[in-house]
Structure 1
Amino acid sequence: MLNSLSDIKKSGNGQHPQWWAMGTQLYESKPLFNKWIILIDGEMTKINNEFRINDINIAQSTLFAIQVALAALLVSWNIYPSSIISHSAGDQAAAFVADRLSLKETVRMLAVSMSEENVENKLLKDIEHLACITIVNSSRLNMVGMFVSTLPHRIQVDSDWSFEDLIEHVREKCLSILEHSHYPLQYILTDSHLKQSNVPFLEIALNFITLSEKSQWSLDTAMLQQLPMQESYGAAKFDFKLTCLYNPTSDDSKLSFCLTCSRDLFDETTAIIVAQRLKHLVDQLFSSKSISNEINPNLTSISKLSLILPVEAQEIKDTVFCRQQNIVNEAPASYSQAGIWFNEQVRFDPNRPQLAIYNMPFLYRYNIGHTLSIKQLRQALQLVVRKHQSLRTLLIFDAAKDSLMQQIVDFHDDNNRLYAFIETTYETQEQLNHIIHEEKYNPQLFDVAQGLVFRCHIVYYKQISSDKVLSDKDLIIFNFHHALFDFPSMNIFLHDLNQAYTTGQLLYDDNTNLRYLDYAVIEQQMSMTGASMFWLDTLHDCKLDQPLTLPFDRYRLSNEHRTGRGTSISFELGQDLSHDFLTHASSNNISLEHLTFAIYFIFLFKLTSGQTDLCLAMNINNNRYRDELKSIIGLFENIVPLRCQLDPHWYFYQLLKHVQEITTNSMKYSYFPLQRILKQHSHISKHTFLDTSLEFISFISNNDKNATMIGDCQLVPASSSFNINEDERQSVSDFSLSLYHDLNMNQLSCTINASLDLFNRDTVEKMSQRFNSILNQLFLSVDDQIDRSIYELSLILPNERLLMQSMNNTQISFASSPFTCIHHEFVCQVMKQPQKLAVELDEQSLTYCELLHYVQVLSLTLLNEYHVVPGEVVCQCVERSLSMVIGIMGIEMAGGVYCPLSPRDPQHRLHALTKQTQSRLFLVHDLTITKFHDDIISLNIDSILNVNDINKKCLSNVQVEREEIAYIIFTSGSTGTPKAVQVRHKNFVDCMHSLAYINSFNKDDTVVQMTRCSFDVHVQEILGTLVVGGTLIMVHPNGTIDFDYLSKVLQNKQITYLHTVPSLLHSFFTFVEQNNNSNILKYLRSLCSSGE
């Protein structure tokens, strides 16, 4: 800037020449003016390269300095302005002179500029996935005019931040954007190729207005008083706009919000609710009332804030369940019933049912000395079925209503029509097993469309009792279809059965009693707004259609029905493990259910190789959330998603805390039907999270404690365990885990169920062992695994670990040799067999001695003429040729690092790779000499091979250690930027010796070079062959895909070793088979395939 002052006419700033004349004279004659110029120049030199302070298209820095120095000079003469008016390039100087900005701030504002790329990266990158709104920015001093700019504000929010963290992030973003607020919106949109008519962020706006502290103004002798304007209906410039009004003079309401919504998109009710949610959010953060007691802005994660209004959180408690007088005997099916029916009709093949999925048999025996009258039992069952209409309800799809309906079947004299009563006999355990198996898995036992959903099966030992009285060896089976019955219903059923059996009657009012039919109707009418908000937020961005990557043995086709066949593996946790598990839960005040779920998420995280966003189906087995529902027989189950977004670096207690929170919240809103949850994500056709489930079940194992009385007879639950076919189990989920807690024995057991459509039984057994291993690591490990990060836990079983150790215990000490580097090993082979054929390409060939000569010629050229130093990266871009072999070994002998570049790669990849390596020298040959620009230093290998007068002594001065890098290979870049992989001399040489040790290839092999230089195997084929002393056969360019040519090479050169990718191998062998030419393969001794 000082330089330009002395020659301001050359600055080209378009200003009038008097500034140059005046500035030059004052700079030379006035010390104060000179001082300010130097001071401003010093401040300008401090700022970094981001600011284009010397670019006159951006900042007229010299003009600004003259204006400020001139103002300082005027003040020194006691000339003070009463007001400051500025225009154009004088705005920044005016801001500083008016003491509105410091010199540092003014200089930075003067120098701000952004390129198109920076604007796009800062404001608009990935805008469709991020919170980006428009903020109206007004920046002015004491000037009249239009100074409003509209700017996009892109905020990337981390849900784990506290509110204070978010404030700091927003503050930094706003200050950063403010520096560039002069950049017009039209330029931003043009730079990003966007049209103002369809830019989403322009539809959502935020405006913060600070009201003037003055409410009165004088105009001559008149006083003007500002009056507030009440807005009711007005024009909406944006679809959604929040205006924040700050009134510093107000005593009670300094800050107020005004929410403006477009009537094109929002009705008045929705806008009011949105405003209420905003107020509720603010109350949680700043109110001193109880609503915010649990919210600490400094500590609490913003994910804990809720938009659910208090009245919505209480919605389920405010719902009234009562008899619906307008409903007689027909109503829409409940959501739970619809889910069961849908599964049977769609997920499983109804035309070819193999196993019943929803049979619910309950088995009971009689205690010795107790008897039960069959006649009295049948009469009692009739009374129970008469009272509980669910036991005589049919489900049928009404096409006219496009709805699944439930109807109560009228009670006729022919009572057998309503439920089945069967009597059979057994003599052997096998016969009994078959009977139980039929009750559990026979799909023909029930007909939901006819209302046949309940059956009673009396199983006599050897013969049916003549007096119709049951004895202790007899069995009674109550069986229900799950669409009309759940597990808690059994207690209601047995209670009423006992009353009906004992008294011969059931007292109830059929006109006022709440029925399941009434529940289903009320459930359909409930708004459930709070629950809807919760689930929409919980499953935001959740990939509900992405299955977990479990170790499947096979996959189900998209149009393939489920068979329902599954396998089940159960195991006891053992006394010690159960004790430590239960102790950990009690000592840390953790529910066993939450502890189980946390462990299951760890197990799935490890089983899926690191998936961190896990969503499962959680079964809610008793969803009777109101007392009125607890006396009704019916299906009150639900399935809700349980989503866990874990951090692999969490400790177990951190995951446990997270699981406690998500499970508690999910249970709170578990009344929200699964169908309504899925409807929120209607764009997803396959909800794969339902295929993986979990549950925790507590039970009492002592049958005497579970006994129930029917009259004077004590019924004891009978075990239904039997062993006909371990693989034949019903399976609704593809993979589920159940943990059982025996309250009587205080023991834990685990069952893993898996679909045989996808898994083999031995796979499920292995997974159960791995789950048990995770439990042992957490609770029985001597090295406190529970206090380590989640990712440190392992699924590797102890026997597998021993096997891996034994497999890895193969270290072999190869013969000690001073020839530790690649080129040393090559020279060693030359000394052993100088006249052996080293490399051959069609009619060209070189012996080991001849190859060494050309390698030395090239390496000396690199050292003497191109001054290559040890460790320097030298790139080579050549086609398959003898020159390729000479080039690679020449680079190694010169101490360089070989980096291959494929002639087949496009220019942009070659440019990217060379930029990464920062190589200054490229080896080419006649076929690739035109691949690079003239400004690239390249050496044509073919042009220097005829040199005979060489001084080989200087090669001995090249010092290369075995720990140094030998070559670099780049990855394909399919996942992003290609990454450089560095290989040391030691690693490569040891690897080649190990391959020779296992006889993969050896010094007697003839190796065909098949791999492109883009892949690392080509180094093994070329350098590896020369290191072990074999013969290398090169093929001409594209020779690997010319199968006629390749066949002749294999036969004529008697190839014994071939290594290529599976696809090429398959194609070539197909060609050989089709041409009946297998004779060409007779010399092959070692065939290797890898990659893809």
Structure 2
Amino acid sequence: MLHQQFTSVDCTTNKPIYELSLILSNEQYLMQSLNNTQISCRSSLTCIHHEFVYQVMKHPQKLAVELDEQSLTYDELLFYVQQLALQIINKYDIKLGDIICQCVERSLSMIIGSLSIEIIGSVYCPLSPENPEERLQNLVEQTQARLILVHSLTNRIFRNTFITYDIDTAININDKITNGDLYQLSSISITPDDMSYIVFTSGSTGIPKAVQVRHRNLTVYMQSVAEMTTLKKSDNVIQMASCSFDTHFQDTFVTLMSGAGLVMLHPHGNKDLTYLIHELMDKDVTFLDAVPSYLDTLCQHLEIQNAKECLKKLRTLCSGGDVLTNQIMSRLKKYVSIPSLSSPIGCQLWNVYGPAEVTITTTYFQIGFNFDCDKQVMAIGKPLPNYHCAIMDEYFQFAPVNQEGELFVGGACVFAGYFGRNDLTAKALVAIDGELFYRTGDLIRMNHNGLLHYISRKDFQVKLRGQRIELGEIERCLLNITSISACVVMKWIDDYLVAYIQSSDISEQELCKHCQSHLPPHMVPSIFIILEKLPLNQNGKIDRKQLPSPNFSLPTLLSPDKSDTPLNQFEERIHTIWCQVLHSNQNHISTTTSFFSVGGHSLLLIQLYHHYQSVFNFDAHSLSIAPFLQQPTIFQHSQLLQTVIMNN
């Protein structure tokens, strides 16, 4: 092997040794095989709305989208899409390529609005209503959006500040669509290279990055997914992801471009596991895509409820956005259908990986039922059709097999750049052998079977419950407080963000309130540790290894507020449930302390809600999970629960 390696080096070269590639010929062949992904793409249908209209023509009466008791066929959905599109272009001076933001809760209006934006050649930018109002307004300003589509639940956020249009009002006008109207829409010249959508990702500079994706990126991605046979027109796909998450575009656009059925959940429906399970069964859902931590919470709920049949109708289950552990996969296998005589394939299990900059999913790994969760290592697999992967070392040379390197992704999937940030785009996109690649920042290794394995990040970006977070954005937010001279944010035991603050004049409550006003919920630190001085290393930089463990701050967080009244008997019951869910042995949590400031997060709140349902015997129709999210203290939960008990 050494002979093969050294005889492959040109001894007459004048290059430094670190610029020489030491890849063996068999390793080069393995890499070439890895990227032998080219498939022919259809050229007649080129844009997202073209693919959708093609499906309308094929099966106009097929159910396109349903939410609880509401539903629209493909033909009906196109009618409302065209109606809203005409309203927009006739009322507002919208030009090809203008950005239109949409801020709506999960609803049929969400689908109608997004497709209307595509059909008039505008750029769709979804905004999650769960974000603080100030952040939403800043994002709109960053995009320079001409218009914001809203509905009744979100109209108040932008009132008197931006130009808004209520989707529900528009689609209730019920004007007939004339041939002249159809000609007006069809005459809009949209090409595959035009921008389709923008999705925001966390930014290390303190400002979120707006990822721009072209029509052709998504249409080629759809054909790549179809080639893998993970999504078929016979599928019913449940829409799980938040609209601010790139999987949202697969759940919605790719589903409808493929002719499949889309099942929507009502607002906060993905946090009500009893409701979710009912929809999975009632709507015959066959395709589910969710982050690993959510699937783990779902499995725990199924175990408690002894509901072994609830996932048996699934044909495909995908998980991505974070590391899928063998432990979670072992749990999932207990609930999905396994190959049998009646169903020789069973449920296909996929571990998928991909940043937003390379159009949703980059690599895939099918997990067979013979996969040994106790012995085998979970891979992220191989690149999708028409995707290319390169693993490069620190000297920009191809990394040998089983050696760690940074993953670069090329092919038809690569995004158009960050909106308004050519400087960041230039750093993210590099040419390798004449092809444009996106630099992921993820450290990967390839094994001798040509499978890719995720190792870690090169920088301080983290994943928290499937959400991509640049810790620098949280730090910049905190440094905007004048009394803070230094800070550092770290991820702790996989589930929590901890902020270390150097200040002598601020409280944890003030810090939490500031973050909640400027950051999305998943980026608000669970724990704030205030120190007189942060430890420094010999180079004068913050020494992260010397920072105290977050454990010492928990008694402070959980200690009683001196002004807090004693717990009454009912609040004591709630306190006990909190301690069970939080796995805490603390004697007292203040009645005015937020669940999210004592180690709680969205998935734990789901568990808390279902504990409440079990103990106090109520269902989601009597009291949904939403009020518990919005009013997260023991006192507020006590008021909510006593009200529903009295009503029952």
TM-score, normalised to structure 1's length?
A: 0.28
Structure showing greater relative contact order (alpha-carbon pairs closer than 8 Å, 6 or more residues apart): 2
TM-score, normalised to structure 2's length?
A: 0.47
Structure 1 or 2, whichever has the larger Rg, is 1
